[in-house]
Structure 1
Amino acid sequence: MARDTDVIDTPEPDASGLERQIAGLDALEMAARSQHGVVRRAWASTWPVLAAVAIAVAIWELVVLSGWKPTYVLPGPGDVFPQLWKDLGEGAFWSGLGLTMRRAVIGFALAILVGAVLGAVVSRVRFLRVAFGSLITGLQTMPSIAWFPLAILLFQLSESAILFVIVIGAAPSIANGLIAGVDYTPPILLRAGKILGLRGIALYRHLILPASLPAFVTGLKQGWAFAWRSLMAGELLVIIGHHASLGVRLEYARENIDAPDMIATMIIILVIGIVIDRLFSAADRTLRARRGLEPT
């Protein structure tokens, strides 16, 4: 005799709720992967620098231990790094660093203005390209220190003399970067812009400058290198009163035969140059990633 069995109805799973849960898990997994990817990229870009620093310090110590020069001329890391730490704790050091960085920012900003205007005009006017193209490249290859006798004659021992050499040293590289970017702008984009009614400044603002931005950033990076070298040369040659900038500290340390302080200041100058260079490199990578030229 068969018995009736009770049928228990089980509710069907909610498809939309299940999809939301799966999507949430996928989002968590992607976030974790993204976080790990950022950490890996940061470490991948950091450890070679740390390794290079360790190798450089080791070679430096070996040269000192070899007795090639007396320690009062070439001190080792054990003498320089304590002096560096001492300098970092002094208010006079930070005021000198602030003075140097203020000169760098003002000079580089003026160089960007002059270089961008010069590059924009020369890149679009054929006559000016033929007349001044080689001159701009010649100015770029000319050593910045060669301009200081003229700068001192024109502006005496003043801030203007330093800024003049910074601008004339960095602006040609910035101009050439923009010129190269304009040269590699696809002609089809220019034709499309003209069809859309872009003319004059609007054409530069909305088409040419965005298209040439990668090359322009490269020009800015190179221009900064010239500006930084010009500034350091200027602070060594143009000593204004008792303004203890980094270059002045370097010169005073040399005159007083204070090799540890001199090398400590050189390390600071080197670190600042490396940090700014890496900032430009990060900006370049971000720009390339946004344009699909390298993995994000």
Structure 2
Amino acid sequence: MAVDASTQQSGAEPSGVGDPRSDTDTRPSGGSGPRSGADTRRSGVAVESSDVHARQIAGLDALELADRRKSGLASRIWSGLWPVVSALVLVLLIWQGVVLAGWWPEYVFAGPVTTLTELADRLGEAEFYQAVAVTMRRALVGFALAIAVGLVVGALVSRIRPLRRAVGSLITGLQTMPSIAWFPLAILLFGLTESAITFVVILGAAPSIANGLIAGVDYTPPILLRAGHMLGLRRLSLYRHVILPASLPSFLAGLKQGWAFAWRSLMAGELLVIIANQPSLGEQLHFARELADSPGLLATMIVILVIGIGVDLLFGAADNALRRRWGLHQVTN
């Protein structure tokens, strides 16, 4: 009775007791209860549709990946071999055609059969492998030193504006200068020693490596530099963690070009600087020319060409790995 009296005095009914609206007015205002159910059904259909599309796309990706797994290795080997084999056959046919034309006698310009026979005989000699080992050792040592010099010069020139104005054009001038022009000075400085060859190899390769690094630094996005500064990176740490990774494509191109200059400089040096008891590929070229040994000369040239192609394939693999790491490999396929 106290409850009824208080209720009557307040003019309100007790909530949830005897109120018919308590069962029906629990939905949000505006009568959105039925619409929320429709929205739920629509969202469910949309989610189901997106799931179907996702499964379809995943299925297509799986088919594509499965096809690549099945035919990837064989197709890659074949796609890499047939252009090389075709070019090799074409070169041999042209070579044999020039020999058959009789423009030069056989002892001046040997045919492919004679040359390949001479090359096969040399592959069984220990002196041949010793010559290859000496040449490759000189090439690797000189190229490693050129990388060190190019890194230091490129890093300093790319970040110090007065230094870049002073020696920026000089680096390009050194790059375009023929390597053989340095040998008279190198022989005067170091004599007929390996130091003279290494000196010219460094001067031939370092400018290209430095220019590659400078170009990479120039094309580094400024936002990366600002992010590095915000993270507290300065000087060497900024180069190590930001600038060098961002400039890797241009730097790799500079390395590849630097190797080409280093290899040509080395061959020129070994032709001019003959060191006793140190056989090399350049020395074999020199003596084959002196003795008019056309098959031996051409066989050595083939070895030099094959080594150059092998190194180029290594640089190509490094470039493919870099593009794959950056997510660019699908663009070129």
TM-score (ref. length: structure 2): 0.79
Aligned counterparts of 2:190 and 2:171: Cα–Cα separation in 1 = 23
SS of the equivalent of 1:74 reads coil
Instruction: Write out per-residue CA displacement over residues 35-78 of structure 1, whole angstroms, 9 at most, x where no aligned residue.
Output: 52233123212211111111111100000000010011001001
1:154 corresponds in structure 2 to 189
1:113 corresponds in structure 2 to 148
Aligned-residue offset at 1:33: 2.9
1:34 corresponds in structure 2 to 69
Alignment equivalent of 1:253, drawn from 262, 265, 288: 288
Aligned-residue offset at 1:243: 1.6
Alignment equivalent of 1:271, drawn from 279, 294, 306: 306
Superposed, which structure 2 residues align to 1:61-76 within 5 Å?
61-76=96-111
Aligned counterparts of 2:188 and 2:106: Cα–Cα separation in 1 = 40
Q: Which amino acid aligns with 1:270?
A: L
TM-score (ref. length: structure 1): 0.89
Superposed, which structure 2 residues align to 1:18-97 within 5 Å?
30=65, 33-97=68-132
Inter-CA distance 35–193: structure 2 relative to 1 (3 Å threshold): farther
Q: Which amino acid aligns with 1:58?
A: L
2:159 corresponds in structure 1 to 124
What is the total number of aligned residue pairs between the two structures?
272
2:256 corresponds in structure 1 to 221
Aligned counterparts of 1:47 and 1:220: Cα–Cα separation in 2 = 28
Alignment equivalent of 1:176, drawn from 190, 207, 211: 211
SS of the equivalent of 1:68 reads coil
- Structure 1 moving runs of 4+ over 6 Å: 26-29
Aligned counterparts of 2:65 and 2:108: Cα–Cα separation in 1 = 56
Aligned counterparts of 2:74 and 2:218: Cα–Cα separation in 1 = 38
Indicate yes or no: 2:326 matched with 1:294: no
Aligned counterparts of 2:249 and 2:82: Cα–Cα separation in 1 = 27
Alignment equivalent of 2:231, drawn from 174, 189, 196: 196
SS of the equivalent of 2:104 reads coil
Alignment equivalent of 1:185, drawn from 220, 223, 234: 220
Moved more, 212-221 or 283-292: 283-292
Structure with the greater alpha carbon radius of gyration: 2
Aligned-residue offset at 1:27: 7.9
SS of the equivalent of 2:181 reads helix
Q: Which amino acid aligns with 1:274?
A: I
Inter-CA distance 198–43: structure 2 relative to 1 (3 Å threshold): same
SS of the equivalent of 2:69 reads helix
Alignment equivalent of 1:137, drawn from 141, 151, 172: 172
1:3 corresponds in structure 2 to none
Aligned-residue offset at 1:28: 11
Moved more, 165-174 or 28-37: 28-37
Q: Which amino acid aligns with 2:80?
A: S
Structure 2 residue runs without a partner (length 5+): 1-57
Instruction: Write out per-residue CA displacement over residues 238-287 of structure 1, whole angstroms, 9 at most, x where no aligned residue.
Output: 00113210000111111111110110000000110011011101111110
Q: Which amino acid aligns with 2:167?
A: F
Aligned counterparts of 2:73 and 2:248: Cα–Cα separation in 1 = 25
CA-atom RMSD, angstroms?
Answer: 1.6
Aligned counterparts of 2:70 and 2:242: Cα–Cα separation in 1 = 35
Q: Which amino acid aligns with 1:33?
A: R
Aligned counterparts of 1:178 and 1:134: Cα–Cα separation in 2 = 15
Aligned counterparts of 1:28 and 1:186: Cα–Cα separation in 2 = 38
Moved more, 151-160 or 34-43: 34-43
Structure 1 residue runs without a partner (length 5+): 1-22
Counting aligned pairs with the same residue, the percent is: 65
Inter-CA distance 268–52: structure 2 relative to 1 (3 Å threshold): same
